Amino acid sequence: MIEILSAKKFQVKLKATIQASGRLGFTDETAKALHLDAGVPMKFARDDEQDVLYLARLQEIDEDSFEVKKSGDYFYLATRTLFDTLGIDYRSHSVIFDFARATSLDSLMGGEAYRLCKREKQRNDKE
């Protein structure tokens, strides 16, 4: 079977950034692509052998999920405690996650799964 790989599909860059407050904020493109709205459940998973995080958009809330919050046009997850526990230094570093689809984990995570590819650089906060 031949599948057309549309340029439109691959021009959207899905990403999220950990804010200095510890919230995981989604770009507009990502929010639209994942059909985010207040209350949408999201679940994290971690492969500690490879130090990789995964995030899945669920259809239904479960005990392991975070609910998307909305402030104006901005969507985020309240993830400060999670990132503190994982030792991610979002206070002195700008941490950005690029999303890569991980269809093999959809069943395990219970939703549309993405690998979070981490990029970080020193934060340039102005005093």
- Residue 84, in any domain of the structure: yes
Tell if the pTM clears 0.75, that is, is over it. Answer: yes
Q: Would you say 93 and 120 are in contact if contact means Cβ atoms under 8 Å apart? A: yes
Query: Looking at residue 127, what is its pLDDT?
Result: 43
| Placement of tokens 């939703």 in the chain | 111
Look at residue 47 and tell me if it is in a domain.
yes
pLDDT at 11 over 70: no
Q: How far apart are CA 52 and CA 62, in angstroms?
A: 22
Domain assignment of residue 1, yes or no? no
12 in Cβ contact with 29 (< 8 Å): yes
In this predicted model, what pLDDT tens digit does every residue of 33-88 receive, in sequence order?
999 999 999 999 999 888 899 999 999 999 999 999 999 999 999 999 999 999 99
Q: Is residue 127 part of a domain?
A: no
- Which helix H or strand E contains 32, and what residues bound it? helix 28-33
Q: What's the confidence (pLDDT) of residue 48?
A: 84
Q: How far apart are CA 77 and CA 71, in angstroms?
A: 11
Domain count, the chain: 1
Mean pLDDT, the chain, rounded, equals 91
**Domain containing 22: what range?**
13-122
Tens-place pLDDT, residues 67-82: 999 999 999 999 999 9
In a domain? residue 41: yes
